[in-house]
Chain A
């Protein structure tokens, strides 16, 4: 029982990070139909900012804010430089563009920073643990859970209560009609990228806090997972992305904890098998996007 609770805390922490990343992918996809595989490099950029700040002795709180800001700025620049010229092209063209952006950035990291994994100095506090309700929980896990809750609450408030958030939802449902309302295409797309950068930046701080290192390919694996989570939740659906992220986190952690040791090698395929199995019953994802539902009516 205690093991189960302990692993549940781990699953919420990991699932929350996946949820933030999947949300970042979903925000952009819902508005311009682009699956941005360079989302992972936004994480890596934030990771390097943390590394340099650690070397320069910048306090962690400021370093984290700088890292998140860098990811947001990088996301907005990425859209302006790489995606704006292909905005009206097909989804496939944009997808390939995002692969190209991803690879260019990876090569730049390898050549101008370091090809190998670099240590990131973290405050001692993050690797401490505290006892809570009879469980021993790492401070970094608690930080991940709290950060996820804060981000999800912020995003929910922004999308429901703020005029610009409502405009983003409107643009996600019918971009042409949103423009008729006077909602500027460039503004809403830039805002979507800034938001996705914010989410990637927060996710990167959480990710690095668990690992204390950063390498040029750091962003690839978590974003691939986030992509699976976004599909599982229902591509383009924000609530779906969150649900998919948590479900994937739970699947991974529980399999790692409870699968017999001679089957651990097959953990990833078994996990993906479960995802495919769920999607057999929910082909449009756990919480499909509203525009999908509307098309069917």
Chain B
């Protein structure tokens, strides 16, 4: 079967700095794929290039059989791709409900927007309780739920999650990972960038290990977990 996302020899560059140097991978429908690696390994740059936030300097990105390498970010949501960005980046002066409405901006059908609202509120009842509150006044964990909820509003086929557990209390981290498994059960395909290696491999189907902007390891999550030696990558050795 054709993979949902296929990335070939992707290069991302910020001025003179090469953040991603020739990364290849693919994600199939229904999978959770984890991207692991130290800070600056190129994980976020890879996701941002897929979502169109940064330019792919070379290489191609194909989504659902279509070349999306040079498409603007606003054209990707309607195609079924959503990113929950690093650092959550909710709109702080918009209410919770307004943040979610923006997630469904490309959805024209009003009943579909209503259904999406219901779906997100049933996943995160706390967001329903706080729907009229400004997003900037939520706790870090609630903002993370909002960021994920907002990305789900467009009903994406592929959800890119960038460091969803970053900066959260251990109990909340548990909840975030639990949520990802719930999403998988709802047939959402997920690309997960994480620093929390053990937890990510527990829920992922497959993983890619990045270092210095290149893929240095790949395989089934269970293999990667038993392989060990991951620490070396994270120390940059």
Contacts and interface: CB of A to CB of B under 8 A. Distances in A.
13 contacts: A166-B101, A170-B102, A176-B73, A177-B89, A179-B72, A179-B73, A180-B51, A180-B74, A181-B74, A182-B74, A183-B102, A185-B74, A294-B93
A163 interface: yes
By secondary structure, the A interface counts as: helix
A185 B106 contact: no
Given A166-B98, A167-B105, A290 B83 contact: no
B213 interface: no
B77 A181 contact: yes
A169 B74 contact: no
A167 B154 CA distance: 15
A294 B136 contact: yes
Interface of B: 51-53, 72-78, 82-83, 85, 89, 91-94, 98-99, 101-103, 105-106, 136, 150, 154
Leading 10 A-B pairs by shortest Cβ distance: A290-B93, A182-B106, A182-B77, A179-B73, A294-B92, A173-B91, A179-B74, A182-B105, A181-B105, A181-B102
Given A290-B136, A294-B136, A297-B136, A183 B105 contact: yes
A277 B127 CA distance: 42
A282 interface: no
B177 to A, nearest CB: 23
B93 to A, nearest CB: 3
A180 B50 CA distance: 11
Nearest to A176: B53
Contacts of A297: 92, 136
A168 B51 CA distance: 21
A92 interface: no
Given A170-B99, A177-B91, 17 more contacts: A163-B101, A166-B94, A166-B102, A167-B102, A170-B102, A174-B89, A179-B73, A179-B74, A181-B154, A182-B74, A183-B74, A183-B102, A184-B74, A185-B72, A290-B136, A293-B136, A297-B136
